[in-house]
Amino acid sequence: MNESTNATIAHVRTEIISNPLEPQWGTANTAWKWGWEFHIALFCFSFLVLTIYSLCGIYRSRNRRETVARNLSYVIHALIALLGITRLLTLALFPYEFKSPIVKRPMPVAAARLVFGIGFPCITASFALVQFSFTDSLKGMLSASKLRNLTFLVLVIAMHFAIVLIADIISTNVSNTTAVLCVVTKSYFLLMALVTMIRILMSGLQVLHRARRTSHALKKLNSRYKCTVLSPRGKRKGDPDTDVDKVLFKVRMVIILTCVFCSALIGVQVFSLIELDKVLAGKTGALAPWPWYVYQTIFRLAELGLAGTVLYAISSHVARNTKGVASRIREWLGKISSREKATMSEAQVGQEDAGCDNAENKGYEQSQ
């Protein structure tokens, strides 16, 4: 086999099914040189690590004490593991629906699209479950949460998978629908990224607002009645105040990371929809090699970032603690409520004592 044949086998990818935004692979591989192999190797390794970590998380979930936290951990780790497996398979065997002459189409097109398509809904379904847990914990209803109901969990997950799977099936079996269905699926990605960001932002800000409002009320009571219940003291490991700080820090980080990665997804999807609009208008739709490469790279990085964020959200912030963040929010709000009641009680006792002292002093002065 001569050098030209080796070069062809190493670099040329043959297109299986056209996608409106895919570049011409002959010129793309020439432009990227080793960049294509680097992209595939980098993300195959990243999703492999994500899969292994999530599978280990499923095993660790059995140590969760509360039923809701345990169910949530099982489901979310399983969804993220599924994301990692599907991305790993498609990127390794059939990257972006292109094949090498050596591999001879290792995966059918229909199977490749279905396997790749179920990845992103794993992320959106996971964030939906995290948002539900935040909302239930704020309402103090975690013990009666819908997350205990297996049917509810299945419906939430199925809803996020339905649109992408239907679009992939139609685009594979019906001709002349590629551009329109690409618009549908990319619009879905855009919408779900926006909804996910808004959901986590609103529920997280509610937690922080509740914390700020309660803390302000306690400080006001302390300054007004000079109660000793809130006297300054050093924070120790295991101190409830320290746990509260860690929970609130985690909530802030989840909000920030979700907004950053969802904004990246929204940006690349808006870009792709603008390019698809040109296709529907009859213009040439194929992207230049490097814009397409950057688009796919940002998309994969955002997926990894969101997957890591949702795993961070349900993780325990203390190594040996088995409670999830939603359970800790609920527990913390209960402690704050108890402290507030204790402060009010002490304030009332202090007022009564002060009143008694004033009355005694006044009686003594009158007797004099």
- For 15, the 3-state DSSP assignment is strand
- For 320, the 3-state DSSP assignment is coil
Please indicate whether residue 304 or residue 226 has the higher confidence score (pLDDT). 304
Q: Is the pLDDT of residue 317 over 50?
A: no
Q: Determine if the pTM surpasses 0.85.
A: no
Q: Is the pLDDT of residue 52 over 80?
A: yes
Contact 242, 356 (CB under 8 A): no
Mean pLDDT computed over 281-305: 84
Amino acid at 245: D
pLDDT per residue as tens digits for the range 115-151: 888 888 898 888 888 887 777 666 654 445 566 666 7
Residue closest to 72 by CA, chosen among 325, 346, 341, 362:
325
Phi–psi pair at 99, nearest 5 degrees: -130, 160
- Helices marked H in 98-149: 109-117, 119-139
Compute the distance between CA of residue 35 and CA of residue 12 in angstroms, rounded to an integer. Answer: 13
Q: Is the pLDDT of residue 162 over 70?
A: yes
Q: Is the pLDDT of residue 267 over 90?
A: yes
Please indicate whether residue 337 or residue 255 has the higher confidence score (pLDDT). 255
Mean pLDDT computed over 172-180: 62
pLDDT band at 262 (very low <50, low <70, confident <90, very high): very high
Predicted pLDDT at 264: 94
Mean pLDDT computed over 187-196: 86
Task: Render the burial of 186-195: b for 16+ CB within 10 Å, e for the rest.
Answer: bebbbebbee
**What CATH code would you report for 21-226+244-346?**
1.20.1070.10
Mean pLDDT computed over 288-302: 91
Please indicate whether residue 101 or residue 30 has the higher confidence score (pLDDT). 30
Q: Where are the domains of the chain?
A: 21-226+244-346
**Residues found in the chain:** 368
Exposure of 111 by Cβ count < 10 A (0-12 exposed, 13-18 middle, 19+ buried)?
A: middle
